[in-house]
Amino acid sequence: MSNERILKTTRQGKPGQGAGDRNLDWYIDKAVQVLVLIAGISAIVFIIGIFTFITKEGISFIFESSYRISAYTIGTLEEKEFPEELLEELEILEGETYVDAAELIIAMEETIGKEATDQYKGLIIEHSVHEPFKVMDFFFSTRWKPTSEWKPTYGAFALIIGTASVTGLAMIVAIPFSLGAAIYIGEFATGKTREALKVLVEMLAAIPSVVWGFIGLSIMNPLIIKAFDVPIGLNVLNAGVILGLMAAPIMATIAEDALKAVPDRYREAAEAMGATRWQVIFKVVLPAAKKGLLAAILLGLGRGFGETMAVLMATGHAINLPTSIFDSVRALTATIAAELGETAVGSDHYRALFTLGIFLFVVTFVINLTADLVVRGVKKG
Amino acid sequence: MVNTNKPSVKLKVSNLSINYGEASALRDVNLDVYENEIFGIIGPANSGKTSFLKTINRMDIFTPGMKVVGDIIFNGTSLDQWRNVYALRSRIGVVFPLPVGLPLTIYENVALAPRLAGVKNRTELDIIVERCLTRAALWDEVKDRLDSLGSMLSGGQQQRLTIARALSQEPDLLMLDEFSIAVDPVTTMRIEDVLKELKHEMTIILVTNLVQQAYRLADRTAFFLMGDCVEMGNTEDLFSGNVQDERTRDYIEGRFG
């Protein structure tokens, strides 16, 4: 096509490009706009949706109190020398739940008679109060016995400590590892080594957590038993190391980005003053990148905290307050994963697991929010 | 010492050539820089001026593909024989074209070099910081906020901070690479006054693309053009038209470049 022809076509436009025409390009543009809008907004919708769902299932557990004649009620009354014939009659009510004391009294009058009710209602009400969630118990009791026939208890302290100890150890493993890797890749490695390492680290970050759990179960376990002469190799040490290795690649990637964001002129200026490579990194680059590095650590922390499959497989999954790194523990996330499938929808146990979910959600939310605020600080500074 | 007939040579450059891969940045340069003088280097962009400075403090070893041939003798010792390149660099202060306030406090910016050299005593550091900032004509403006970030200062202030930092190394040789690019004229004049004072204590190499700046400051001036050192002589001679190469006269009179 000659130049003149091209010019002519451009000026006149293709057919269908007059003022009033909407051609295919116009519709594609509109459609893409709508699709992108939906995708963008979906994040908000999902967050709100998940939060509502977890809260709806779990929140009633926190505030609920009711009256219930349970095996525990019957047993306690028996100990209190409650008349045996009345006890047999009362057992008919076992498993029934009443929203308030008045309803319970009506039911009692129907079964054991008005006279006995008046005499014993104080005792019965006292031992049938049903508050599955007590703040002190939930956060500070180690008794997580949701399936107890006698009296289920929901003390999450051991689980919280389990998660905290594993995550803490994981950070001790991951922070030096990931920062070291980031410094090497970002500051020392050049050319092909650097590119290869970056790809490999990203690949490492993509390994599914069940694979890590499998490594913990089948490699770390016997290794720990052999090396430290302990009876069980599925413990805080095992899970902490596995989780640390899992979190390190993603932390290294983000930390390396933070180092790369430090302008080269800072390095040159410090080098020109006679600083060695190490002094440049330690005195200038790391201080300049400290916010980004902190964000990397916090994201790793969030990842470790929320990880489920690997900790389920490597911790030993035993409710236990650890006294050393060779004790088995159980994590919050692993508890939800392992138990939720076996609970009746709407039962106390089911709702207790959702309460754990709320707790996890709040903690990870706070960690991520902190990380986000820190990263924003990076951009401003 | 300065006005003796035969001033001592601080820096002797012989047959220096610099290549970046195939491209030649500097060809066969020979020059001497005397003790306690301001040695000006003028020339249009891409003439090899910055490469020349990089070579002197051995920044070339971190620039991939940069190849240096020739000999540079600094303080009587060939650069090849300086076995500790970091020690060499600490003797040479560099001020880059764009101000570099390191992301540390103003105080730490100036205290960094003494700290690297092993000064730990806080009183001693205080004295060094105040002296260097004063000499860089910055002390009065920042003395009340030494703990704020150096990278938050204005461009002109950062450039003076950079000079203060270079001075804190107590260098024998101060190299300035087009320091006035990002600085307003008033600040430029103040820094120029500082440089005139400083040359009594050290040797200064001033790379500039402002011909008049070389005229105001330099004792001797070299003219670099496209990688060649076209001319070198007393600044007075060059600017009074006493040149060996017509191109020098053309450049100084502003007919090209």
Give the β-pairing of B77-78 and B9-20: unpaired
Q: Write down the pLDDT at residue B152.
A: 85
Does the pLDDT of residue A109 top 90, yes or no?
Answer: no
- Locate tokens 């040159």: which residue? A268
Mean pLDDT across chain A, nearest whole number?
87
Specify whether A74 is located in the same domain as A209.
Answer: no
Give the β-pairing of B203-207 and B173-177: parallel
d(CA A302, CA A361): 10
In a domain, B143, yes or no: yes
Of the residues B51, B56, B86, B205, the best mutation for testing chain A's interface (the one with the most A CB atoms within 10 Å of its CB) is: B86
In a domain, A152, yes or no: no
d(CA A343, CA A349): 6
Specify whether A182 is located in the same domain as A328.
Answer: yes
Specify whether A364 is located in the same domain as A273.
Answer: yes
Q: How far is B209 from chain A (nearest CA, A)?
A: 21
DSSP B205-218: EEE-S-HHHHHHH-
- Does B113 contact A274 at a Cβ distance shorter than 8 Å? yes
d(CA A170, CA A180): 15
CATH number, domain of B225, equals 3.40.50.300
Give the domain extent around B61.
Answer: 9-252
- Locate tokens 């991939």: which residue? B64
Nearest CA in chain B to A265: B100
> Which range among A24-28, A68-72, A312-316, B165-169 shows the weakest confidence by mean pLDDT?
A68-72
Mean pLDDT of B229-247: 89
Which phi and psi angles does B38 have, rounded to 5°? -100, 120
Q: Write down the pLDDT at residue B187.
A: 86
Residue closest to B246 by CA, chosen among B226, B227, B221, B223: B223
Convert the pLDDT of each residue in A297-338 to its tens digit. Answer: 998 998 888 899 999 999 999 998 999 999 999 999 999 999
Total structural domains within chain A? 3
Bridge partners (DSSP) listed for residue B13? B31, B72
DSSP B144-204: T-TTSBGGGS-HHHHHHHHHHHHHHT--SEEEEESTTTTS-HHHHHHHHHHHHHHTTTSEE
Nearest CA in chain A to B118: A275
Q: A266 at the B interface (CB within 8 A)?
A: yes
d(CA A72, CA A56): 28
Q: Which residues of B touch A269 (CB under 8 A)?
A: 94, 96, 100, 102, 162, 165
Specify whether A166 is located in the same domain as A215.
Answer: yes
In a domain, B114, yes or no: yes
Tokens for A276, please give them: 């060695």
Residue closest to A311 by CA, chosen among A249, A234, A381: A234
Give the domain extent around A7.
Answer: 3-63
d(CA A67, CA A116): 18
Q: How far is A165 from chain B (nearest CA, A)?
A: 36
In a domain, B3, yes or no: no
Contacts of A380 (CB under 8 A, 6+ apart): none
Specify whether A168 is located in the same domain as A79.
Answer: no
Helix, strand, coil tally for chain B in percent (to 5): 40, 25, 35
Specify whether A44 is located in the same domain as A72.
Answer: no
Q: How far is A298 from chain B (nearest CA, A)?
A: 23
In a domain, A139, yes or no: no
Q: At residue A130, what is the residue type?
A: H
In a domain, A136, yes or no: no
Q: Helix, strand or coil for residue A123?
A: helix
Inter-chain Cβ pairs, chain A and chain B, closer than 8 A: 66
Return the H-helix or E-strand segment holding A258. helix A236-260
Q: At residue A96, what is the residue type?
A: E
Residue closest to B17 by CA, chosen among B56, B64, B52, B61: B52
Instruction: Provide the 10 A C-beta neighbour count for residue B76.
Output: 9
Mean pLDDT across chain B, nearest whole number?
88
Residue percentage of chain A with pLDDT more than 90: 49
For B86, which of A274, A287, A288 is closest by C-beta distance?
A: A274
Give the β-pairing of B203-207 and B38-42: parallel
In a domain, A138, yes or no: no
Q: Write down the pLDDT at residue B62.
A: 73
Reported confidence tier of residue A64, pLDDT bands at 50, 70, 90: confident
Specify whether A195 is located in the same domain as A118.
Answer: no
For A273, which of B62, B98, B112 is closest by C-beta distance?
A: B112
Domain boundary among A63, A78, A98: A63
Q: Which residues of B touch A276 (CB under 8 A)?
A: 86
Specify whether A272 is located in the same domain as A336.
Answer: yes
Residue closest to B174 by CA, chosen among B42, B46, B57, B22: B57
Specify whether A188 is located in the same domain as A334.
Answer: yes
Give the β-pairing of B228-234 and B220-225: antiparallel
Convert the pLDDT of each residue in A127-162 to its tens digit. Answer: 887 777 777 888 888 889 888 877 888 899 999 999
d(CA B211, CA B224): 12
Tokens for A351, please give them: 């709702």
For A276, which of B64, B86, B93 is closest by C-beta distance?
A: B86
In a domain, A282, yes or no: yes
In a domain, A140, yes or no: no
Q: Write down the pLDDT at residue A83.
A: 83
Reported confidence tier of residue A6, pLDDT bands at 50, 70, 90: low
Rounded to 10 deg, the angle between the A290-306 and A348-380 helix axes is 170
Q: A279 at the B interface (CB within 8 A)?
A: yes
Does the pLDDT of residue A178 top 80, yes or no?
Answer: yes
> Which range among A149-153, A210-214, A285-289 shows the weakest confidence by mean pLDDT?
A149-153
Bridge partners (DSSP) listed for residue B149? B105
For A273, which of B62, B90, B103 is closest by C-beta distance?
A: B90
Q: Write down the pLDDT at residue A381.
A: 45
Tokens for B230, please give them: 């076209």
Total structural domains within chain B? 1
Does the pLDDT of residue B181 top 90, yes or no?
Answer: no
Domain boundary among A63, A81, A115: A63
In a domain, B91, yes or no: yes
Q: Which residues of A touch B166 (CB under 8 A)?
A: 273
Chain B positions contacting chain A at CB under 8 Å are 57, 59, 62, 64, 86-94, 96, 98, 100, 102-104, 112-113, 115-116, 162, 165-166, 169
Tokens for A73, please give them: 């009620």
Does the pLDDT of residue A378 top 80, yes or no?
Answer: no
Nearest CA in chain B to A264: B100
d(CA B234, CA B220): 4
Helix, strand, coil tally for chain A in percent (to 5): 75, 5, 25
- Does B103 contact A266 at a Cβ distance shorter than 8 Å? yes
Contacts of B179 (CB under 8 A, 6+ apart): B95, B96, B97, B159, B162, B163, B191, B208
Bridge partners (DSSP) listed for residue B205? B39, B175
In a domain, B257, yes or no: no
Residue closest to A297 by CA, chosen among A208, A361, A370: A370
Residue closest to B187 by CA, chosen among B137, B242, B133: B137
Q: Helix, strand or coil for residue B222?
A: strand
Q: Which of residues 168-197 of A touch B (CB under 8 A)?
A: 190
In a domain, A101, yes or no: yes
Convert the pLDDT of each residue in A349-367 to its tens digit. Answer: 998 899 999 999 899 889 8
Between B156 and B61, name the one with better pLDDT.
B156
d(CA A273, CA B168): 9
Convert the pLDDT of each residue in B125-178 to its tens digit. Answer: 999 999 999 988 899 999 999 998 888 888 888 989 999 999 999 999 999 999
For B169, which of A268, A274, A287 is closest by C-beta distance?
A: A274
DSSP state of A329: B
Specify whether A120 is located in the same domain as A251.
Answer: no
Specify whether A96 is located in the same domain as A179.
Answer: no
Specify whether A191 is located in the same domain as A334.
Answer: yes
Of the residues B116, B161, B168, the best mutation for testing chain A's interface (the one with the most A CB atoms within 10 Å of its CB) is: B116
Nearest CA in chain B to A276: B86
Domain boundary among A25, A48, A63: A63
Which phi and psi angles does A209 have, rounded to 5°? -65, -25
Q: Which residues of B touch A270 (CB under 8 A)?
A: 102, 112
A68-102 burial, b for 16+ CB within 10 Å, e for fewer? bbbebbbebbeeeebeeebeeebeebeeeebeeee
